[in-house]
């Protein structure tokens, strides 16, 4: 079962933000920061409708989302073609890329990002809801 947590926090958390981050050799001028970043204020547009969930499984690894990552989900957004969504299908939550291109044919698809998994075809006899749109993912690079 997925544990979903609210994104509403009482305090501000301002962290230094560098103007640029180069992946090559560092510049001596890059040792200073001008701005700060507050995850709660700068990355979350709709705090009352935004939730966090820990990803379980490997069905989205080719989208860069791994087991244990944290998905930031905005429930106030309408899903658009190709969005990563948290869907509620037959009593279970799943994270997949949504494909509306077959609507006129009577179904939509939920695509995994791992060739070991099959698409989920939603035709109408399933209990289905797009629960929210994934707007960010957070990964710990240190285990």
| pLDDT (0 to 100) of residue 9 | 55
| pLDDT (0 to 100) of residue 74 | 94
Q: Classify residue 77: in a domain, yes or no.
A: yes
The sheet with strand 92-99 has its strands ordered as 4-6, 50-54, 70-74, 128-138, 84-89, 92-99, 108-111, 120-122
Q: How far is it, in rounded angstroms, from Cα 22 to Cα 44?
A: 25
Condensed to tens digits (0 to 9), the pLDDT of residues 80-104 reads 999 999 999 998 999 999 999 999 9
Does the pLDDT value for residue 38 go beyond 80? no
% pLDDT > 90, the chain = 57
Local confidence band at 48 (pLDDT 50, 70, 90 cut-offs)? confident
Q: Classify residue 22: in a domain, yes or no.
A: no
This prediction's pTM: 0.77
Give the domain CATH number at 98: 2.10.109.10
Q: Classify residue 100: in a domain, yes or no.
A: yes
Tell me which residue range forms the domain holding 105. Answer: 47-138
Q: Classify residue 40: in a domain, yes or no.
A: no
| pLDDT (0 to 100) of residue 107 | 95
Does the pLDDT value for residue 8 go beyond 80? no
User: Looking at 59, 76, 101, 143, which residue is catalytic?
Assistant: 59
Q: Classify residue 15: in a domain, yes or no.
A: no
Q: Classify residue 41: in a domain, yes or no.
A: no
The number of angstroms, rounded, from the C-alpha of 83 to the middle of its chain's C-alpha atoms is 9
Q: How far is it, in rounded angstroms, from Cα 52 to Cα 2?
A: 10
Q: Classify residue 93: in a domain, yes or no.
A: yes
**Is 118 marked active-site?**
no
User: Looking at 96, 118, 140, 143, which residue is catalytic?
Assistant: 96
Q: Classify residue 113: in a domain, yes or no.
A: yes
Residue of higher predicted confidence among 117 and 7: 117
Condensed to tens digits (0 to 9), the pLDDT of residues 19-35 reads 555 566 665 555 555 57
- The CA-atom distances, in angstroms, between 16 and each of 9, 13, 124 are 19, 10, 48
Nearest CA among 65, 92, 84 for reference residue 133: 84
Domain count within the chain: 1
Local confidence band at 47 (pLDDT 50, 70, 90 cut-offs)? confident
Q: How far is it, in rounded angstroms, from Cα 93 to Cα 77?
A: 17
| pLDDT (0 to 100) of residue 1 | 43
């Amino acid at each position: 079962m997925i544990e979903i947590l609210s994104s509403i926090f009482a305090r501000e958390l301002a962290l230094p933000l560098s103007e640029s981050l180069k992946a090559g050799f560092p510049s001596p001028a890059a040792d200073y920061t001008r701005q700060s970043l507050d995850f709660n204020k700068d990355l979350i547009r709709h705090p009352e409708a935004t939730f966090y969930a820990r990803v379980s499984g490997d069905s989205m690894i080719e989208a860069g989302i791994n087991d244990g990552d944290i998905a930031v989900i905005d429930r106030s957004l309408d899903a658009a073609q190709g969005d990563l969504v948290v869907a509620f299908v037959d009593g279970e939550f799943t994270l997949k890329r949504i494909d509306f291109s077959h609507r006129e044919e009577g179904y939509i698809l939920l695509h995994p990002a791992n060739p070991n998994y099959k698409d989920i075809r939603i035709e109408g006899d399933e209990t289905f809801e797009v629960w929210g749109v994934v707007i960010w993912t957070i990964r710990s690079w240190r285990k």
